[in-house]
Structures are given as structure tokens and as C-alpha cells.
Amino acid sequence: MCGIVGYVGKDNAKDIVIDGLKKLEYRGYDSAGIAIIRNGKLEVKKHVGGIANLENLIGEDPMTSNIAIGHTRWATHGVPSDDNAHPHTSQDGKIAIVHNGIIENYVELKHQLEEKHGVIFRTETDSEVIAQLIGVIYKEKKDLLQSVFDAVDKMRGTYAIVAMSQDEPDRMVAVRKDAPLIVGLGKENNFVASDIPALLKYVKEIYLIENNETVLVKADEVKIFNEDRKEIKREVFHVTWDVDAAEKEGYEHFMLKEIYEQPKGLSETLNRRLTKDGKIRLEGISLTKEDIDNINKIYIVACGTAYHAGLVGKYIIEKLAKIPVEVDVASEFRYRDPLVDEKTLFIAISQSGETLDTLAALREAKKRGARVLSVVNVVGSSVARESDDVFYTWAGPEIAVASTKAYTTQLMCMYMLALYMGLETGTLTREYYDNFIKDLQEVPGKLKTFFRNVSQIEELSKSLYNREQVFFIGRGLDSAVSYEGSLKLKEISYINSFAIAAGELKHGTIALMEPGTLVIALACQDFLYEKMVSNIQEIKARGAYVLAIAKEGNDAIAKQSDTMIYIPECRDEIVPLISVVPLQLFAYYVARERGCNIDKPKNLAKSVTVE
Ligand code: F6R
């Protein structure tokens, strides 16, 4: 979603801001823009399309200035266009703002500004209202900080806003409500941004800005104010990862790099939390036997890929810890009347920790008395901060829009939670637990072995890339993984793909099977494999072309299928950690074959901070 970068300091602001915006491209956007103050005058350049278009527009102009705010826009109100791109300016052209989020009462504010102040709007966006409103207030207050305070009081919605005024060229004022915002602390240089990767090249010390806080940022001073406009202190957050972690390191795409990083991420997430005697130490989580005994239900709520991790979580927690689990997509959960109370453990799963629907669902669950545990990748993100307990996936930064290593490390957290709860409450014997942990520890090695056969998947994609539709089928845990495989394929290759529990096919979807229809059949659950053989036969009888995924040595499935991908042998319960990888790779190579923009698929954003 929209990315924001702002800079004030001794260097040329334009270069730093454009560089930062490029680091935020992964969030997804459709236009870009920048505002500077040069020789006492505010100047704005903005263009629809990629940052390269903005750079072409700027051309050789150095845009020399010590202050700049920049933005990549992901359209919500108004089509992607030059006019609708940010920054937006006030009527007199003296104030510029960039905004991530939605101003819900913008129509009302717009009418007031038009009728009372004669403002003429130039764009279709909700965000322009912010610039116009600050502009009108500024005429009276003549102080940017006070004007932003007053403007925010009149706005409803979600926002990270950065404003600057040509009459105060030494400062930016930023404000946050339900959209990510950080401040980077340099030497005679300070920054604001939506996300850490934008600033990593320049600073490692960060202030994480909380909801309803306003920040005054000058080159040599940063002040944070709370909702009551009182100055408050904030601890500095030290970023531990380096620039390389957010670079491609020779891989053609971030997605491929992140697929290959899965053994490392899984090993970090698991091994760093195992004590010498093999027990799981849940740092940051105080879940005693008593707490677990007190829970009568677990609700796992998330969106997209994270929701798919929740589907596996349900299966595993119910099997190992014997606690009933419901799984829901956050955008549905929050508008139902969910049966959640103080006996519910609510688990939110989110890579970014900024997904608005997940955050809203979490708040709803908290309001109803549930204890909230989150499984999050981005340290210090909103979901993490608002949870009672946080279980971090140590996947490292995930830049590609299509989630891969975040998913498998989320799965690992699900296994660890289930095993922990099962051991604490006695539903598992120590022997079963130890064997399970040992099997989990072997997964990274098995994945590395599997990577030796990637060329087979690359070859397969060359013959299958031009299909118009693809079906994914599976049973049990294979069914949960097939949803994820299907999502991966559709989001990056734009092929119409559809996942369905294999046993459900005959209840309607089988009508779509035609000679040559590509069906990817996951048959990795030993105890269900005969059932899968029957399902494969049913679709083969209608002429489907079957690509099956099965464990090494499963010749029976090979006989039924047109082509095979084998995964290393492992216990049924942990199959998802491995079987999803060929699906990620298949999606990747098919999308590459089709010439798609793999790391930044159209219409998608990495961090979905609007409803
Ligand atoms: C798909 C994908 C999305 C996200 C979803 C939730 O590859 O990445 O479906 O999983 O938008 O995002 P997070 O996990 O950041 O809450």
C-alpha cells in the first residue's frame, strides 16, 4: 500500500527520498510523487506509473533542497493519475502533504471547505482534503504543528500523514492513526517513513510512532506528542538487520530469494526457542498450564496467506493440544457477532503486523475479553504492539508481495504452539513430543535437498505456463496447502486458479473438468492417499491433466498421474512445511514464463492498511 518517505537534513533531500521510495516499491503502488522547498518555494512533481516515470519527469533537475516528502500511491479514492498522485497541496500552494490510509469523512469536510472557505478541489482523492484543511487552518495559526493538531481533530479514518509548509522549511510534521509510521534518527538528518527498509541505508535507530501521536521532525530535533498534545519520551528501537537482508543478493527476484531463505527462517524460528533439554521456550509469551486449561476455544484470525497458515494451525492444534479451534478471515470476523470471551485465546497471524482488517479483528476480540496472542514477522508492528503476547516469526524482511517464507515460519509457530500446549497439558507424551521436534528440526535440511531438483519444476512450468485455469486439490492438510498454492499462482501469474477439498469436487466443481484441464493434486497424507487415488481417477476419467505432488517412493500416485513432483519423506503432520515449496516454485516459474512482474504483481500491495 502507499509508501511514505520524508527527509530533513544537510544532504540533498530529493535523492534520499527517491531512494527510500524505491525501497518501498514492494508495498505496491500505481503512482509516485515528491515535494521539496527550494529557495523558499514549495515545488511538487508527481506522475502516474512507476518511480522511473517520476525520475524521467524530474530529468536533470537536481531539485536542490534540504527537505522533501515523497509518496507511492495505491489508489483507493480516484483512479491512478498524475492529479490524484501525492503530494497534495493547499489552495495557496504553500502546504504539501502525503497520506497513507482513508479519510472516512472526507465528503463532509470537502463540502465544508468548499462552502465556507471557497476551496476549489483539484483531485478525486480523499487525501486532498487533508492538505486543504491544514492550509485553511494555517492561515490563522501560522504554525504547522498546531495546524496539523487542529486538522486531525476534524478527521475520521486511518492515516499516516506527513506535512510541510513553505513558510517553515526546516520541519515536517507527521501524524499516525492505524497506518504505519516510523521516524529514523540520524546525525543532523532525520527521516520519516512507512517502513524500515526505506531508511536502512541511512539509519538503524528508529522511533516507532504509536496511534494518535504527532511528531515534529527537524534536522537536529525530533519531538513526539500524544493525543493531548503533550510531549512524550520514546525509547529508541535499534534495527538489527542490515541492508543486505532487504536486497536481492544476486537472485532474479525477491520472491525466489525468499523461497530459498525458508530453511534458514524455519531453523531460526524453531531452534532459537529450544532449550537444552528440547523444550520450547516461548519468549514473550506467558502461557502457563493454568492459562491453557482456562481456554475453551482458540480463534485464529488472519488474511490471505496468513489465513492459510491458520487453516494448518487449526488442524495441528486440535490434533496435538485437543483444543477446539475456529479459523476466520479477519474482514468477516470483525463484522459478525463472534462468540469470543475471556475463555477464548485469539491468535492473530500477520507478516506485516499492519493489516488493517487483522488489527480491527484483534481489537474486537480484545473488547470481548479474549487474550490476544499474535504471530507476527515485523518487530514492533501494530499487531505486535496491541497483543498480550507476541510470537515472532524470525523470517527476516519479506519484500516480495507474494508471501513465502512468512507462511512457512507462521506454520512453524503453529506447530510449536500446538506442541507446547500439548506437552503442558499432558495431551502429548514426552516421547511423542521429542520425536515431533526432531522431525521439525530435519525440515530445513530436507528443503535444501529438495532444492536440488528445482530445474524439474522450471521445466514443467515451460510446458504448463499457458493454461487458462488451474485447479488445486487435496485432502486434510493437503487441502489447506492447496489453498495457498492456488493463491500463489493466481496472484503472480494471473492464471485463474481455484482450490477445493478433493472430496468436494464431485459436489459441483467436477463439472468444470474438460480434456486437458490442469489439476495439481496434493497426495502427501499417507492415511488419505487411497482416497486421493479415487479422486484423481474421477478427474482423469473426465480427461484432466494431473500434476501430482507426493512423497518420494509413492509409485501408486505416479501411475495415476500425468506428471509428478516428489517431496522428501516426512511425517504426515509436517507435510505443509515442505509441500508448499514446490507450489511456490511452480507459481514463480510459471509467472516468469508469462513475463509477469513477480515481485510487484498488479493491483496488489504488500501491506494492506485499508479495509
Ligand atoms: C499473499 C499475501 C497476502 C497476505 C495478506 C495478509 O501472498 O501476501 O495474502 O498474506 O495480505 O498480510 P499480513 O500477513 O501482512 O497480515
540 C-alpha to ligand 1 centroid (Å)? 34
Residue bearing the bigger pLDDT, 26 or 300: 300
HEC string for 161-178: EEEEECCEEEEEEEEEEE
Ligand 1 binding pocket includes 358 (Cβ within 6 Å) = yes
* For residue 243, pLDDT beyond 80: no
**Of 506, 518, 516, 488, whose CA–CA distance to 598 is shortest?**
488
Specify the 3-state DSSP secondary structure of 577: helix
DSSP per-residue letters across 370-400:
-EEEEEESSTT-HHHHTSSEEEE-------S
Specify the 3-state DSSP secondary structure of 233: coil
Asked if residues 315 and 343 have their Cβ atoms less than 8 Å apart, the reply is: no
Write down the pTM of the prediction. 0.79
Amino acid identity, position 202: Y
Ligand 1 binding pocket includes 402 (Cβ within 6 Å) = yes
- From the centroid of its chain, how far is CA 195? 12
Choose the residue to mutate in 178, 350, 403, 606 for probing ligand 1, maximizing ligand atoms within 8 Å of C-beta.
403
Q: State the pLDDT confidence band at 555, using cuts at 50, 70 and 90.
A: confident
Which of 2, 413, 524, 596 is an active site residue? 2
86 C-alpha to ligand 1 centroid (Å)? 25
What value does the mean pLDDT take over residues 352-376? 95
Asked if residues 458 and 472 have their Cβ atoms less than 8 Å apart, the reply is: no
Q: Which three cell numbers stand for residue 535?
A: 479422486
351 C-alpha to ligand 1 centroid (Å)? 7
**Terminal C-alpha separation, the chain:** 11
* For residue 554, pLDDT beyond 90: no
**Of 451, 471, 468, whose CA–CA distance to 594 is shortest?**
468
Strand order in the sheet with 496-501: 496-501, 469-474, 518-523, 545-551, 563-567
CA angle 323, 325, 327 (to 5 degrees): 165
Q: Which three cell numbers stand for residue 348?
A: 492473530
Asked if residues 313 and 414 have their Cβ atoms less than 8 Å apart, the reply is: yes
Amino acid identity, position 182: I
What value does the mean pLDDT take over residues 95-104? 94
Ligand 1 binding pocket includes 560 (Cβ within 6 Å) = no
- From the centroid of its chain, how far is CA 468? 27
Is-catalytic flag, 606? yes
DSSP 8-state class, residue 199: T
- Write the Ramachandran bin of 285: left for phi over 0, alpha for psi from -120 to 50, otherwise beta: beta
529 C-alpha to ligand 1 centroid (Å)? 30
What value does the mean pLDDT take over residues 170-176? 97
Q: Which residue has a Cα nearest atom 7 of ligand 1?
A: 402
Question: Which pLDDT does position 227 carry in this prediction?
Answer: 95
Choose the residue to mutate in 390, 488, 497, 608 for probing ligand 1, maximizing ligand atoms within 8 Å of C-beta.
608
Kindly give the number of the ligand 1 atom that is closest to the alpha carbon of 307.
10
User: What's the CA gap between 455 and 499, in Å, rounded?
Assistant: 25
Q: State the pLDDT confidence band at 298, using cuts at 50, 70 and 90.
A: very high
Specify the 3-state DSSP secondary structure of 177: strand
Query: Residue 341's CB: how many other CB atoms inside 10 A?
Result: 12
Q: Which residue has a Cα nearest atom 11 of ligand 1?
A: 304
DSSP 8-state class, residue 280: B
Ligand 1 binding pocket includes 304 (Cβ within 6 Å) = yes
* For residue 30, pLDDT beyond 90: no
Q: State the pLDDT confidence band at 245, using cuts at 50, 70 and 90.
A: low
Per-residue pLDDT tens for 121-171?
A: 999 999 999 999 999 999 999 999 999 999 999 999 989 999 999 999 999
Choose the residue to mutate in 254, 312, 355 for probing ligand 1, maximizing ligand atoms within 8 Å of C-beta.
355
User: What's the CA gap between 16 and 67, in Å, rounded?
Assistant: 10
Per-residue pLDDT tens for 445-486?
A: 999 999 998 999 999 999 999 999 999 999 999 999 999 999
Please tell me the number of Cα atoms within 13 Å of 285 on its side-chain side.
Answer: 26
Ligand 1 binding pocket includes 352 (Cβ within 6 Å) = yes
* For residue 27, pLDDT beyond 80: no
Q: Which three cell numbers stand for residue 156?
A: 475520521
Q: State the pLDDT confidence band at 24, using cuts at 50, 70 and 90.
A: confident
Length of the chain: 611
Q: Which residue has a Cα nearest atom 8 of ligand 1?
A: 403
**Of 238, 217, 109, 102, whose CA–CA distance to 163 is shortest?**
217
Choose the residue to mutate in 351, 354, 375, 490 for probing ligand 1, maximizing ligand atoms within 8 Å of C-beta.
351
Which of 22, 204, 314, 606 is an active site residue? 606
HEC string for 103-154: ECCHHHHHHHHHHHHCCCCCCCCCCHHHHHHHHHHHHHHCCHHHHHHHHHHH
Q: Which three cell numbers stand for residue 168?
A: 517553515
- Give the CA distances from residue 405 to residues 75, 85, 254, 311, 372, in Å, rounded to whole numbers and listed in that order: 28, 32, 11, 17, 23
